């Protein structure tokens, strides 16, 4: 086996391993957040639970579903995978809107100022970006909505803005983990271990999207 062959095998293996780890850490992270927030124990508890379920679990799975290496639906055809991607993103949108509603109403009931922290501000921007991204994806389903734009170009913009939304979601999650509510229960090494989860998932997603984009660009030359 030549050096470049063994290098590419090693690269494929590490990509596969990191993808599997991304699936695992997202599920574990969401499970830990369920245990910490105990959804239903208070109005606030729905916020970290729904946001984590939406951004960390559903959105990550919706993206990894389209991965050529670690898709849990690898047996399905591309069209079926795309439909599943849409279904998961719709579920994610529901979680995110309900999660935002819960914290907004909770603050209103407690007479607290809105969007007064970095987490609140970046979180609001993330939700807005996610909604714009969802509406902007409609021309991919109904191509007539974007006359003059090629499907390839639309897909590229969708992937790039989707990646930005995902990264903003990861930053919002990490900032949420800096809140007093979270740090009073989790601190020290366990905090860093938990912060590693959305960070690893973000790196894997970034690698998947940039690779797909660069491969397409290379084909055009
Ligand atoms: C991507 C996921 C998340 C988004 C987009 C998000 C968004 C937001 C927004 C917009 C607010 C401000 C609401 C208002 O001022 O009316 C907020 C507040 C809050 N969030 Fe999140 N959140 C997310 C995840 C989390 C997580 C995982 C936690 C806990 C670990 C958390 C804990 C809090 C807390 C304690 C507040 C109240 C204090 C503050 O405004 O910073 N959030 N969130």
CA–CA distance, 105 with 111 (Å, rounded to integer): 10
Q: Which atom of ligand 1 is nearest to the CA of 104?
A: 16
Start-end of H helices in 38-143: 46-51, 59-64, 78-109, 118-136, 138-141
Query: CA 126 → CA 55, 129, 130, 142, distances in Å?
Result: 10, 5, 6, 25
**25 Cβ below 6 A of ligand 1:** no
pLDDT at residue number 215: 62
**103 Cβ below 6 A of ligand 1:** yes
Q: What is the pLDDT of residues 124-133, one digit of tens each?
A: 999 999 999 9
CA–CA distance, 78 with 80 (Å, rounded to integer): 6
Query: Which of residues 10 and 221 earns the better pLDDT score?
Result: 10
Q: What is the mean pLDDT of residues 181-207?
A: 97
In the structure encoding, which two tokens stand for residue 86, read together? 């849409």
In the structure encoding, which two tokens stand for residue 50, read together? 């729904």
CATH topology of domain 3-106+117-220: 1.20.120
Query: Atom 20 of ligand 1 has which residue's CA nearest to it?
Result: 176
Mutation test residue for ligand 1: of 38, 58, 119, the one with most atoms within 8 Å of CB: 119
SS3 state of residue 65:
coil
Per-residue confidence at 213, pLDDT binned at 50, 70, 90? confident
For residue 76, give the H/E element and its range: none
Give CA torsion, residues 5, 11, 15, 17, to 10 deg: 90
Per-residue confidence at 217, pLDDT binned at 50, 70, 90? low
**96 touches 54 (CB < 8 A):** yes
DSSP string of 143-177, one letter each residue = GGGGTT--HHHHHHHHHHHHHHHHHHHHHHHHHHT
Evaluate if residue 221 carries a pLDDT over 50. no
For the chain, which residues make up each domain, given as ranges? 3-106+117-220
The model carries a pTM of: 0.93
Q: What is the pLDDT of residues 66-118, one digit of tens each?
A: 999 899 998 899 999 999 999 999 999 999 999 999 999 999 999 999 999 99
CA–CA distance, 12 with 6 (Å, rounded to integer): 10
Per-residue confidence at 10, pLDDT binned at 50, 70, 90? confident
């Amino acid at each position: 086996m030549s050096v470049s062959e063994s290098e590419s095998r090693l690269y494929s293996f590490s990509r596969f391993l990191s993808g599997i780890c991304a699936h695992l850490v997202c599920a574990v992270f969401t499970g830990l957040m369920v245990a910490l927030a105990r959804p239903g124990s208070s109005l606030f508890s729905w916020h970290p639970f729904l946001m984590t379920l939406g951004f960390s679990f559903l959105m990550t799975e919706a993206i990894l579903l389209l991965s050529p290496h670690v898709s849990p639906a690898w047996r399905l055809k591309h069209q079926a995978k795309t439909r599943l991607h849409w279904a998961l993103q719709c579920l994610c949108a529901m979680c995110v809107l309900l999660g935002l509603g819960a914290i907004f109403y909770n603050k209103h009931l407690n007479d607290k100022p809105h969007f007064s922290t970095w987490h609140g501000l970046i979180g609001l921007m993330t939700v807005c970006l996610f909604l714009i991204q969802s509406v902007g994806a409609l021309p991919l389903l109904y191509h007539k909505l974007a006359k003059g734009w090629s499907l390839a170009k639309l897909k590229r913009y969708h992937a790039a803005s989707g990646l930005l939304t995902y990264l903003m979601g990861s930053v919002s999650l990490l900032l949420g983990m800096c809140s007093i509510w979270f740090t009073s229960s989790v601190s020290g090494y366990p905090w860093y271990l938990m912060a590693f989860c959305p960070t690893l998932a973000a790196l894997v997603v970034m690698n998947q999207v940039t690779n797909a984009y660069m491969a397409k660009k290379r084909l055009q030359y």
